[in-house]
Structure 1
Amino acid sequence: MSKLSTILDQIDSGTMLLPEFQRGYVWNRDQVRGLMRSLYLGYPVGALLVWETETNPGSVRGTGEVGNGVKLMLLDGQQRITSLYGVARGKPPAFFEGDQTAFTNLRFNVEEETFEFFAPAKMKGDPTWIDVTALFVGGLEAQIHKLSGHPETAPKIVSYMTRLNRLRTILDRQFHQEKITGADKGVDVVVDIFNRVNSGGTKLSKGDLALAKICAEAPDVRSRMRKHLSAWSSAGFQFNLDWLLRNVNAVATGRAQFESLDGVDSAAFAKALTLSKNYVSGFLDVISGRLGLDHDRVLMGRYAFPVVSRFLHLNGGSFTDAAERDRMLYWYVHAALWGRFAGSTETVLSQDYETLARGGIDGLIASLTRWRGGNLTIDGQDFEGFGRGSRFYPLLYLLTRAQGARDFGSGLELKAEMLGNLTSLQVHHIFPKALLYKHDYKRPEVNAVANFCFLTQQTNLAIGKRQPDDYFAETQQKHPGALESQWIPTDPALWRLDRYRDFLAARRELLAAAANGLLTSLRDGTKPAAEPLQRVEVREDDADDVRNVQIKALVGELTAAGCAEPALDSEIADPATGRVLAVAEAFWPDGLQPGLGRPVVLELDLNSDLPRMEELGYEVFTSVDALLGYVARRNEEAAGLADGEEPADGLEAGESSIAVMPESPTAVEQAGTGAASGADFDQAMRGIYEAARTEAGHNASLFLGMLAEHGGITTAKKLLASAVVSDGFVALWERGRLDLTVEALVTRAEFARLFTAEEMETARERLRQFDYPA
């Protein structure tokens, strides 16, 4: 047993450390609040698992010097001890990696005996809210002195002093420690034990284990790897340690299994790391300069890189000639397009390493062709994907950059050296989004890859929301050939809105033909030599798309609540076949908090194989409201809140911001412009539901449940309090009926007295953002 204060002192003195194989801090504020509440109430909070060892300085995390002697390596309890250290010391421990706002500015209410994080509007000027860190750092006396100086708290100073003393004695809380000792307990044994006892938490991958063993011999390996990742990040490409380790393994051993690194000594690993870094950087230059794939959004086939690294290593570090380089590009693009590495990465890499050793690049191409049933030809239907997460979106960008696509406004090729100060590109919807939504096209059709092209930012703004049958004719007249360079069907009949689906079909065929021609020229060595393409900045402007605004706000809300950053517009593929199961709006591959829970998918378009994703272990949400409600309930449980207490943030699962107009057009208007009562607002809310259902074809049944439980005013206030517009708001925007939202109803003059000025302004701002007069 050890007192908490002793444990914190051990961290300060460097005798309790965090092994390098541990991942970073992932707790959120509600978890910290729940831990403090449990400790204050005397509830059990679990034992600690430590490894007692004569540690090598390279096997621990942190930048400080580690002295000789026996050390305690914290294996199970990192999140708890890090949180308590942060609250008690007011700073993170030396081994910290994560977001320290999760444990800073915690307050304790001496009257209600509750914990909350600092909220100025609620706590400023209220002496009953005590800074917990100040209590631990500055002592009890200073807090008692402050309370005694306020007339409202002075009469209860004795009971307050008892409560604060009880809180401070958390430092005397005894933590049971299980210790792993013995000379036979090496890193691999300890990691295995860690995984067994931590099966419900952050389980280590095979890559983590391999790195742990390497770091025990080579202290600077992880920092060197992170330096390389940072350099690529600065160049616009995001990779992780596990991915880089696969490249190193390919170079060092020619094997895909991380266990193969067991036989690689630190010197050999360091050399392979340097070579891998050079191979990856060189190939990034090739695909950027030759194909125009110059930023992370369009980087295809990440797990083809280890195969390329292996080839370059066997080939003396470079391609023999341009023809060999282009054949590798041919294989790389096709491997990415058909999901070659969507399945068991190690199995596929092993197969490709063996093929490479026997038959080189031509062997890889032949093997991929057989895997695809003898066909590497792109068909027009392959371009039927939608969104920037589609695997054919990067191919569209590749064609644009490598085949000399021209800007509609200037007529110039979309190359940095030709555009000068117009180098920023934007994705342009050929048929405007708002127009398509107005005519009842669904989101997948609106955001079809075949409805995308790339234009300069200036041209995109100039075209605005004009229809193709308007601006295409102008482009043809001013810049002959520009439309053809972007694979636009030249039949004017296809430029009309009523022929939109025919337009998509025709353009898909043109794109497929262009793609096949380019790839064939790479395979056959007939693509002309050219100066390397210079990088062009691509800016994503989604401010006019409420769904994208909603997802952006959702990510902000969830990361503030302690969740990890998701991958946006992420393709989810079947590991058995490489078939696309979904293009998720957001994807958390390691769970909402890294290593905790199942992978989480937010997929809103329902053009997906939900049963297969659930079979594969994904936790799938088809509603933003449902995901927010889930996170709110999960955090509520983590904080140990009493049953029936309202979540601090977010919506309940399935809540919808669809407002509901009255059964008849005059039902809301009956109050005229005079003040209306809560009952009037209830009636108006229920009426909006009927209009949304009958006039806009949107059935908000879950909204009715919320309305029945909370009433009209509380329902509206909950929706307005969320930072994220609801699914119902989005659905009505897509139908061109923002007049049927709660936000529109709240802004009516007769309901003004029912809401605060801030709530009214929130409603108006949401409506104004999407061109609805408010």
Structure 2
Amino acid sequence: MSTQRYSVTPHPIETLLTWVKSGEIAIPEIQRPFVWEATKVRNLLDSLYQGYPVGYLIAWRNPTIRLKDGTSSAGKRILIDGQQRVTALMAALLAREVLTKDYETVRIRIAFHPQEERFEVANPAIRKDAAWIEDVAEVFSPDASITELTDAYAHANPAADRRTVSRVLERLRKIINNHVGVIELADDLDIETVTEIFIRVNSAGTELSQADFAMSKIAVNETHGGNLLRKAIDYFCHLAVAPEFLARIEKTDTAFAASEFLPQMRWLKDVNDDIYDPTYTDMLRVAFTSEFGRGKLQDLVALLSGRNFETKQFEDAIAEESFGKLKKGVLAFINKTHFERMTMILRSAGFVTSDLIGGRNAVNFAYVLYLRGRAEGMIAADLERFARRWYAMSVLRGRYTGSPETTFDFDIRQIEARGLARYVDAVIDNELPESFWTGMLPQLMDTSSSNSPYFLAYQAAQVKLGDKGFLSRDISVLDLLMNRSDVHHVYPKQVLKAQGLARGRYNQIANFVLTQSEINIAIGSKRPDQYFVELAEQVAGGKKKYGGITSVDELRANLRANCVPDSLLDGAIPDYDSFLEQRRALMALKIKTWFHAL
């Protein structure tokens, strides 16, 4: 007996594109950033032109769900593998615009050289060269005539063979007749199996996530407002990066503009803060986890399908309830007060720029914590303190770097079982005992990564504690981070390189201080035993060479604030390794002081 749980049917590309345009297949990516490089789109067209296979598409028809009146309803198809390829074809052949990672709307133009039968990404040189058709979409336009296209090309290229050009253009246009195999998964497969297939087929290439799967589920369900909800998620992420996009939504998507969602996000038009620019994955994680008390997005996919976890059946009532809860979570996420309070919490901890935000999932769960506390009616000041401390702990311990979904799920279930305040305090006490600050953290800081969570936390600590920049009398670390700062090597890089030290040694974070550019330039490649002698002379009435500090007490205070042993002023210059060890211990204690002040 066959165990095959799928069918394979070849379909012309033209048919697939028609399905996408009609909504028979759900591809939310048309509304979201397109991650392929233009060269991959070119290569895809070339493969089709050469008659090469371009892989299978995998679709799953939503499971049949039981409606309230007892009847059944079969769902639409969800494309769980091949979304990028189909979006690429829509963009190149049908002249559809796509969004880049930076939320810029662009047209991907693939040019074609009929005489050489070659594709290339259009560029200014190609546009000036009459031998190229600068945009193949011209050939696939519904009202395009091969005869007219050939005449125009032959007129611009008198040496070209007209019959050959006509034959080549005809061959090009026929690529939409090429067949692509569509693997259709059995609609009675359970969610877990489809999820497993989804993960396996996306283990190579441009990986799709559970969030993509969830967004597809949301998009195909118009009965419970899924299409508008999906747009709310997409548009909020877009507006957070590009506020000017609001005018376009209002002009081109009147149905969404008239919905309850747009008024809730209109406030973004005046915001240029980029501390937390969420992706649709971030929004789904926060909205789902905070509202459903679960952390695994595959559970969201199941619930949106109407899955009854007890009976293993699919019920429309559960799907309806799940869409309602997700909508409530999304509205809570995009609420101006909630969102701005979350960014304020980050800023109040010292994380004042997006460069200081390391793991996005740590922010996400801190937001979950905040929304749960709000829903419980927790006192605002207490809630802000819990969220601040939880975020800082998460960053220092890498809590969500390994298996974020599993950790989200564990944490939210524990919060539900034990209560938010009690659980937060218990975890922080367990994760950050005294031995962490004096033993583990100094060891963890033995790294050359300036993006390490420990160096980010150290900079946030300097901001929160109001420290001045290294050797600065007036300019604070906050000023430096918000404007322009140099990362100065206390033991200059050139000195250490001359001693044969590798990059990973001279770029240790314990050798970094934030300083003004002019101070960094003045020190240059002078050895510490040289410029610290000159600093001692400066505060004893000598020439001001490095910053404006002229008091020895003020200078010692500045060194201590920057975790530089002030014994260097007394001529006690340790060897480089000893210096690093001393400074790591001092930096760890500063981070401890900061954390307890949160």
Paired residue for 2:118, among 106, 114, 117? Answer: 114
Cα distance 1:472–1:267, how it changes in 2: closer, same or farther (>3 A)? farther
Cα distance 1:248–1:162, how it changes in 2: closer, same or farther (>3 A)? closer
SS in 2 for 1:400: helix
Cα distance 1:144–1:513, how it changes in 2: closer, same or farther (>3 A)? closer
Per mean C-alpha deviation after superposition, the further-off stretch among 388-397 and 374-383 is 374-383
Alignment partner of 1:258 is 2:301: no
Alignment partner of 1:218 is 2:275: no
Paired residue for 2:145, among 116, 133, 139? Answer: 139
Give the letter for the 2:284 counterpart: L
Equivalences, count: 503
Per-residue CA deviation, residues 259-303 of structure 1 (Å, 9 max, x unaligned), is: 5542553333332333345556424312312x2111222225644
Give the letter for the 2:225 counterpart: A
Cα distance 1:273–1:446, how it changes in 2: closer, same or farther (>3 A)? same
Answer whether contact 1:52 1:180 (CA < 8 A) is retained.
Answer: yes
Other-structure match for 1:166: 171
- CA–CA separation in structure 1 for the residues paired with 2:286 and 2:179: 46
Aligned 1:762-773 pairs, distance under 5 A: none
Answer whether contact 1:248 1:276 (CA < 8 A) is retained.
Answer: yes
Other-structure match for 2:288: 249
Cα distance 1:84–1:98, how it changes in 2: closer, same or farther (>3 A)? farther
- CA–CA separation in structure 2 for the residues paired with 1:209 and 1:422: 38
Answer whether contact 2:57 2:181 (CA < 8 A) is retained.
Answer: yes
Paired residue for 2:458, among 386, 390, 396? Answer: 396
Identity of aligned residues (%): 24
Other-structure match for 2:92: 87
Aligned 1:551-566 pairs, distance under 5 A: none
Per-residue CA deviation, residues 125-153 of structure 1 (Å, 9 max, x unaligned), is: 46377764444444332443355447872
- CA–CA separation in structure 2 for the residues paired with 1:151 and 1:464: 61
Other-structure match for 1:538: none
TM superposition shift of 1:392: 1.0
Paired residue for 2:393, among 331, 334, 341? Answer: 334
Give the letter for the 2:331 counterpart: T
Cα distance 1:129–1:287, how it changes in 2: closer, same or farther (>3 A)? closer
Per-residue CA deviation, residues 421-469 of structure 1 (Å, 9 max, x unaligned), is: 9954443333333343233222122221122222345554555555544
Per-residue CA deviation, residues 284-331 of structure 1 (Å, 9 max, x unaligned), is: 312312x21112222256444526634662465665375775466445
SS in 1 for 2:515: strand
Per-residue CA deviation, residues 214-243 of structure 1 (Å, 9 max, x unaligned), is: 552333323333455456654222433333
Other-structure match for 2:49: 40
- CA–CA separation in structure 2 for the residues paired with 1:324 and 1:174: 57
TM superposition shift of 1:340: 2.6
- CA–CA separation in structure 2 for the residues paired with 1:311 and 1:83: 39
Other-structure match for 1:344: 403
- CA–CA separation in structure 2 for the residues paired with 1:514 and 1:520: 10
- CA–CA separation in structure 2 for the residues paired with 1:368 and 1:421: 28
Answer whether contact 1:404 1:485 (CA < 8 A) is retained.
Answer: no
- CA–CA separation in structure 2 for the residues paired with 1:350 and 1:8: 38
Answer whether contact 1:254 1:310 (CA < 8 A) is retained.
Answer: no
TM superposition shift of 1:337: 1.1
SS in 2 for 1:116: strand
Paired residue for 2:550, among 460, 470, 477? Answer: 477
**Aligned-residue CA RMSD (Å):** 4.7
SS in 2 for 1:512: helix
Aligned 1:494-505 pairs, distance under 5 A: 499-505=575-581
Unaligned runs of 5+ in 1: 56-68, 523-774
Alignment partner of 1:306 is 2:379: no
- CA–CA separation in structure 2 for the residues paired with 1:10 and 1:351: 40
Give the letter for the 2:510 counterpart: A
- CA–CA separation in structure 1 for the residues paired with 2:155 and 2:507: 63
Alignment partner of 1:366 is 2:426: yes
TM superposition shift of 1:405: 1.3
- CA–CA separation in structure 2 for the residues paired with 1:11 and 1:434: 59
Per-residue CA deviation, residues 588-619 of structure 1 (Å, 9 max, x unaligned), is: xxxxxxxxxxxxxxxxxxxxxxxxxxxxxxxx
Aligned 1:750-765 pairs, distance under 5 A: none
Cα distance 1:231–1:411, how it changes in 2: closer, same or farther (>3 A)? farther
Answer whether contact 2:366 2:388 (CA < 8 A) is retained.
Answer: no
Per-residue CA deviation, residues 396-431 of structure 1 (Å, 9 max, x unaligned), is: 202211222113565125176xx6999544433333
TM superposition shift of 1:393: 0.7
Cα distance 1:494–1:276, how it changes in 2: closer, same or farther (>3 A)? farther
Per-residue CA deviation, residues 155-174 of structure 1 (Å, 9 max, x unaligned), is: x4333433333333334445
- CA–CA separation in structure 1 for the residues paired with 2:581 and 2:508: 11
- CA–CA separation in structure 1 for the residues paired with 2:521 and 2:102: 42
- CA–CA separation in structure 2 for the residues paired with 1:365 and 1:452: 33
Give the letter for the 2:593 counterpart: G
Answer whether contact 1:49 1:76 (CA < 8 A) is retained.
Answer: yes
Report the TM-score, using the length of structure 1 for normalisation: 0.54
Per-residue CA deviation, residues 67-120 of structure 1 (Å, 9 max, x unaligned), is: xx99776555444444344333344489x999987951322241x433333465
Per mean C-alpha deviation after superposition, the further-off stretch among 447-456 and 389-398 is 447-456
Per-residue CA deviation, residues 678-737 of structure 1 (Å, 9 max, x unaligned), is: xxxxxxxxxxxxxxxxxxxxxxxxxxxxxxxxxxxxxxxxxxxxxxxxxxxxxxxxxxxx
Alignment partner of 1:235 is 2:308: no
Other-structure match for 1:514: 590
Cα distance 1:185–1:333, how it changes in 2: closer, same or farther (>3 A)? closer
Per-residue CA deviation, residues 159-215 of structure 1 (Å, 9 max, x unaligned), is: 343333333333444556566797x79999977776676665566544444444455
Answer whether contact 1:494 1:503 (CA < 8 A) is retained.
Answer: no
Answer whether contact 2:469 2:477 (CA < 8 A) is retained.
Answer: no
- CA–CA separation in structure 2 for the residues paired with 1:109 and 1:7: 26
- CA–CA separation in structure 2 for the residues paired with 1:120 and 1:250: 48
Other-structure match for 1:287: 346
Unaligned runs of 5+ in 2: 1-9, 65-73, 242-271, 304-317, 539-546
Answer whether contact 1:300 1:333 (CA < 8 A) is retained.
Answer: no
- CA–CA separation in structure 2 for the residues paired with 1:399 and 1:339: 17
Give the letter for the 1:167 counterpart: L
- CA–CA separation in structure 1 for the residues paired with 2:207 and 2:104: 20
Answer whether contact 2:20 2:26 (CA < 8 A) is retained.
Answer: no
Alignment partner of 1:376 is 2:380: no
SS in 2 for 1:127: coil
Answer whether contact 1:107 1:116 (CA < 8 A) is retained.
Answer: yes
Give the letter for the 2:286 counterpart: N
Alignment partner of 1:412 is 2:471: no
